[in-house]
Amino acid sequence: MKQLVEASGSPYLALVVQRPVASHPELMAELEQVVAAGAEGLMLKRRNSRYQAGRSDDLLKVKTHDDAEATVVGHLQGKGKYKGLMGSLEVELGNGRRFRIGTGFSDVERHNPPTVGTVITFRYRGFTATGLPRFASFLRVRNDEPEVSPD
């Protein structure tokens, strides 16, 4: 890999230094450090695997995310593969800001989307320049019902 990178002469190609971590806490500390420095996350490579172009089970992306709640205020129809199904939800945050969430849904959820007025939990990574959640993805319908013991 070093020879390939050097031979390319490209200023945009660099060999990434790899190093093992000994524990999950060490990994999380490293993740926190690189995210604080502006990185999106870490790539974890299986120690004895060879380089492969494209996706592989030998390479795992680890990112941080936040989650929040929003109220469903509308449904938008899908296009293409999702024609005739829910394509995205229009949601409203507690501060009144509205935006759309169109990813994270199963096919069952697209057939039967959360109803208007339902509070959902979504995950996101930071905020856009206008202050809206970035890369918002549906997680689940928020359930505030207390768990009932089977006793």
List pLDDT tens digits, range 2-54.
899 999 999 999 988 888 999 999 999 999 999 889 888 898 988 888 888 88
Q: pTM (2 decimals)? A: 0.63
Q: What is the CATH number of domain 66-141?
A: 2.40.50.140
- Domain borders along the chain are 2-63, 66-141
List pLDDT tens digits, range 79-133.
999 999 999 999 999 999 999 999 999 999 999 999 999 999 999 988 899 999 9
Does residue 45 contact residue 27 with C-beta atoms inside 8 Å? no
